Amino acid sequence: MIWVVTSVTFLATVLILMAMVYAFSSGTQLVAGRLTRLWHPPAARREVRFREKRKEWVERFLAEVGKLLPRSRERLSHTQRLLVRAGYRRPEDATAIRGARILSPVGLVSLVYLTGLYRYNPIFLLAFAAVLGFLLPEIWLISRVRRRQHRIRLALADALDLLVVC
């Protein structure tokens, strides 16, 4: 019996010493490099794509334009609630929506004017384009809220199952 205990102890000691020699020898820089990266992880470099750059540029542009529109406490709180429900929590998002409320009526009125549709009924079409342009950002935001709520409802069952399991 003592012979078996001595043999197991000897083998365990030899294996531990071999593992230490392997880990700290100069020929195995891979293991030492991996251990170093565990303690000091490199900064994550994320490549910014063209689409992301354009998206950031549009957000900044809309935020700058949104600063031109005066702030209404009542409208801002409603918009802020919708933004949070849609998953947008940054303060720049509210100014971007205000900027879209300025630019979309201008864009739609310009579109009606440049296509020549105003010739059929100028007052009605121009007013309709202006009103639709003002409401379009809010309609888009409400659709984003509904889409996010739908995704949450679909994931709720799985989340509750995981809670029960945990």
Which of 136-159 are b and which e, b meaning 16 or more Cβ less than 10 Å from the residue's Cβ? bbbeebeebbeeeeeeeeeeeeee
Could you read off the pLDDT of 100-140 as tens digits, one per residue?
A: 888 888 888 888 888 887 788 878 777 888 888 888 999 99
Could you read off the pLDDT of 68-105 as tens digits, one per residue?
A: 777 777 767 888 889 999 998 888 888 888 888 888 88
Q: Is 1 helix (H, G, I), strand (E, B) or coil?
A: coil
Alpha carbons 20 and 79: distance in angstroms, whole number: 61
Cα–Cα separations (whole angstroms), residue 141 to 15, 24, 55, 120, 155: 63, 58, 17, 32, 21
Alpha carbons 150 and 98: distance in angstroms, whole number: 26
Could you read off the pLDDT of 14-60 as tens digits, one per residue?
A: 888 887 777 676 655 666 666 677 777 666 666 778 888 888 888 88
pTM: 0.60
